[in-house]
Amino acid sequence: MSALTEVATTKPEVGKAAPAARRKAVRAPEAAARPRYFLGKDQNSTAVPQFGKELANENEALIESVRTGLAYFIVSEWKAVPDLSGKTPQIIKEPVVRPHS
């Protein structure tokens, strides 16, 4: 005795989009903001962080921090950009890229 299996397929109606076409677009991965490194100023008189000299990379910041006894800060800068291209407005964060000074 042999079994017969029937597979039914339907064609989409003319003028209607296929279900896969209605999916939301996949967003590209966010670009990372380039961190900036600052040696802190002496903070005996205030609780608000104050940035001193900017350093090229984290290794330099570590060495200067040990040498001076001051803290260092790592800062990444972002800006909010509205995206009104879809049905629902969104706010997207974008990295701010600045040349190292």
As for how many domains the chain has, the answer is 1
- Does a structural domain hold residue 13? no
- Does a structural domain hold residue 66? yes
- Does a structural domain hold residue 62? yes
- Does a structural domain hold residue 63? yes
Model pLDDT, residue 101: 53
Of 39 and 3, the structure prediction assigns the larger pLDDT to: 39
- Does a structural domain hold residue 68? yes
pLDDT in tens, 16-62: 655 555 545 545 555 678 899 999 998 776 788 899 999 999 999 99
Model pLDDT, residue 100: 59
pLDDT in tens, 54-95: 999 999 999 999 999 999 999 999 999 999 999 999 999 999
Give the contacts of 19 (CB within 8 A, at least 6 positions apart). none
Determine how many CB atoms are found less than 10 A away from the CB of residue 83.
Answer: 11
- Does a structural domain hold residue 10? no
- Does a structural domain hold residue 1? no
57: containing domain: 34-95
End-to-end CA distance of the chain: 82
Of 43 and 12, the structure prediction assigns the larger pLDDT to: 43
Model pLDDT, residue 82: 95
- Does a structural domain hold residue 42? yes
Model pLDDT, residue 32: 74
Q: In what order do the strands lie in the sheet with 72-75?
A: 51-55, 36-40, 72-75
